[in-house]
Structure 1
Amino acid sequence: MSAQRLAEWLGIETGPGEGVLWRFEWHWPLPGWLTVLLVAAVCGAIIWCNVRATPSIPRRLRWILASLRIGAFAVLAFMIAQAALAAFRTGLPTLVLVMDDSASMALRDEYPPDEEAVLRELLKRDELPDRLTIAREALSQDDGRLLKNLSDRYRLELCDVRGDVVAADDRVDAVITALRRMQASVPESPLGRAIERVLQRNRGTLPAAIVVFSDGNTTVGPDLVSASETAGEKGVPLFFVPIGDTRPPKDVAVEQVINDRSVFVGDVLGFDVRLNASGFAGSEVRIVVEEKMPDGQSVPVLETTETVPSDECVMTVRLYHRPNEEGTHRYLVRAEPLPDERRIDNNSQETVVEVRNEKLRVLLVQADPSFEYRYLRNALLREPSIELECVLQNADIEYREIAAAMRPGVPLTLDEWNTFDAVIFGDVDPDLLLPRNLQDLREYVAGDRGGTLICLAGPRFMPGAYRGTPLEMLLPIEVESVSDPTRDGAGDVGFRIVPTPLGERCG
């Protein structure tokens, strides 16, 4: 007799899709090992009493009596354990269908020819509709045959992109009606949060699976990866049915603009524009830098045109500008929208630059008056935008008193170092400096001030003499690997100095 026939014979009624689960239950207070020992001892005692204590009774009768006593003991044990055969009515497991009804599902995609032919044949349409309609008609075609097949094995629950239950009915017609009423009008797409809400709502009886129909766009809340991990931890299978064109969406986004936040009047201001382009291989994108004036007008100051190398790429474009007016300048860096671009709200970014009209304070430090020192000193003294101070370690006191822009020594405190915008550190003897001087110079560069340090190599001290000093970590070389070029003959080989690409652009 089957479990279902037994339930009918006992008068247990079951509804459509329900079944009966039989389970043997008991409540026995003793542990298993002690129960086995107790049963063995009792059975042994009964057999011994019947076989040994009554030798006058025939053997066959004695075994029958022993069996009856053991059976009586078993019945008593079952009664004490409250053994029972329990029947439980079971329903169908729940299958959750999450339908994305966010605004992005209202888009009409341009599919490759082979995919478009398959969709037209499936939907029996000459013109393909939007994404939500494609998902809706794929589920409800042929009078909902697919949903009916699923309803034979599962209880269907339809949810929207927020995770709210739209339909939870045994009737497929109710699910199809709810599907047809859904509109792609939700401004946000909290798809990950919807999955977590479904799991939270069904935490008592977890669904058999969650099937998500979506284009994959998640704008707020947890992303799909974290939601998938949550479902995996709970043991709930998660299936995604992608809706829409599987190719990357056509988009050009200005992801990041890197530039100096403060420059001097007439200095070169560089903009490093990071573009993320997809779906526009071979297209030309125009990048424009506009200055936003106080009256609200925007004046173009820079522009360039770049070719997108591939369908999915990240490219960096560099543009240079020389602001000639003091004050706060607001710049808008934007990429001109291309034809068929899906989003244009991510095509621009704004940045603020403070333009200062003041002299640049520079400190030049050197041990001896070398050729480089004399050239730099004279060139910087003639530059009207620079206020120069010099330290010459081995200079005579009389020379220090009469020479222009000379100071007696290097700054003695960090605050004094911070009064300079840049420090040119030439071939300086570290033995003539205090340990605190190098520590303050390191903090001047690596600290919050972020000062500029320029190191000039020399024949005596820089950089070899600074091995193991606080200044070593600031040098862009490994000091231990430095050798004297005049000793190994490398200094006899000539070479040509050429400007870097940045130097060529800056003129």
Structure 2
Amino acid sequence: MINHPIIRWLLGIDADPATQGVVRLGWELPLAGWMWLVGISAAMVLAWLAYTRMTPRLWLRHTLTGLRAAVLLLMLVLVARPVLEFVEENREPDRIVILADRSKSLQLADWKDGRGTLRTRDEQLRSSLDAIQLGERSAEWFGFSGDVAMITPSDLGPADGRTTDLPLAIDRSLRRSGSGPIGGLVVVSDGRSTRPIDARLIRSLTARSVPVYAIALGSRDPLGDASITEVQAPSKAFVNDQVPVVVHVRPLRDAPARLELVNMATGAVIDRAIVPAGDPSTHVLVATTASGESMDLRVRLITDAEDAVPTNNEAAITLGIIDRAIRVLMVEGGPRWEYRYIKNILVREPSMESSIMLLSADRDFAQEGNMAVTRIPTTRGEFDLYDLFIIGDVAGGQFSDTQLEELRRAVTERGAGLLLIGGERSMPMQWMGTPIEDVFPMRLTSSIPRQPESVVIEPTPLAKGLGLLRLGDGDDHWPPELSRDGPAWSRLQWMQRIPFEDLKPTAEVLATAMGSTTEPIGAAVLSMRFGAGHVVYVATDETWRWRNGIGEAYQERFWIQLVRYLSRAGLLSAGRGAQLTVEPTTITVGQAATIRLDVKDELIQRRLPDAVDAVVSRSTQREDTIRLSTDSATKGSLVVGLAGVWQPRQAGEHEVTVTDAALGGALTARVRVVEPDDEFAHPETDHTTLESLCTATGGRLLTEADLPTLATVIPDRSTFTERVERVPIWSSPLALILLVVLCGLEWSIRRVVRLA
């Protein structure tokens, strides 16, 4: 009707409005309701007063009053400036933002599908996303771990994020989603986050009226993760050597497990151990090496219970094999009991070749050992034949200064081991002032008293971590009968009293002496690194007492383990003029590590510059260059050291390489860098955080039944806007016509009744 030409002319509509939709009456100067009431009342009163004394013809008076009121009301309407409003309503649809967790914790398998099969959290996530039906509602998809990235439902990418930052993911996804209404934020996650949900984020979501809905991944009840956290083993060993493999295990809380050491070449299980449930534990497995260049081993952690992360239940190690026997030189003053039994142990051990020198024997005595000698070595070549030197109760004066200097050189430069056994007569009192006095792990005095009471030996955690002093069978590291509450025969009647305050700063205690109290009363077995080699001091010569009623098992294990440990210690540096090391070998991102180059060869020392560059690479890509400068503490010593500090920026396996003409080639060392927040360190889910976040923002946790109808579960928060085009009618021909007609009609009637 409004499109009729006459009506359009009357209303003053010259052209078609741009909007199409509802037509309604509006005002340019809208009046309040009370103003309209006052205006209408005033118009009626004024119209009534104008004709209240008119002719008694009532109908005529009412007609004129009505016309006057109509004119006044029309003028009131025109004052408010009426317009025609052409209204077009626009709908801005909302969108659903979906955040999918892509961190490594989704590799954990603690979700059971409909058939009861254990699946990973990532499989649960993909199954949940496939079940979501959004209908005509639009969605924006983001993947998050330590950062946020756009994804598509068909291409989620791998779940390999090293950290999870849920607050950052929510904030950045809302920023990237642009303006406009958001129907809801759907978080598909296990709830784990390196940062907690704070009040600021809740206020931001509430201010934007964004409710959070969550699909909780994983099991609410924690499913434990049994894992091998670290494996320690020497990189090289002798043939037929018994190598300790120290395994650190984090077991399940309520289920025991089994450790197996497997020869990867044959598949045979070399050693086993039972891992009790509960707290983290350390276990020592023993591998007997065979001939060949190397030996590949694998440590397996086996559990019959459900394990969230089975991928961290194995670790591989490689042993380099030195295809010859361990060569030992033992020098003893007199035929004490300890000498007799240690000598027999060395002679019958097939993996060792020994030279045994008893200084108190007469000339006709046939020195024992399968590498017979008639005198103490004197030349460098003779000393270089041996991997380990055992010195018993011998006075330092039995050696010439040249012999002692060669012994010192063999330990500090070549990495040979040195085992010192305390004695009542000479060891260590008569070694003061000799060229190897500083080799001892404690300060020497002219006399060392004995312990005032009988004692037992108790290994320290350090010994267990090194696989030493492992005398028990199975998982018993130290036999109960050798402990403080054991039988009388296990107590040692003589032991030197070595107070802890007399130890040198770099000395380490492998075993303590325990008397009648629960506190240690001194050191029993000491270890110290000296140059390239290791030194062990044993403060007693009465381990032969352990043979009483038991046989030689405990004593043999005690000494054989020390001999093997000291012999292996020099293999890494044997035959090399320089050694590159990184300490510690496993660090976190941002943690400082020391890169050290130790040079023992005098010729290399003369050629080596004061500083060299160490190149750090990851996946063959150069990452850092660290300047190694001369360590002033090593100037004038037999081993010159260059050191530098490196702080890794990325996780992964790194290789450190030093190349210099003076070294005659490249030296390499490896270091493992891990993230400070390991996603597998705490495999438990955090559904409580997700539930609290949903409740605080007006959302809720979603169930599997909600996913097919997610479009209706999340309320539609689309917004509607009006586009209005106004055409004034207060200045239209219709307004003028009405005013003229009403005024003219009133004037005409007044003229007829002679009032005008």
Structure with the larger RCO, 1 or 2 (CA within 8 Å, 6+ apart)? 2
Larger Rg: 2
| Richer in helix (by share) | 1
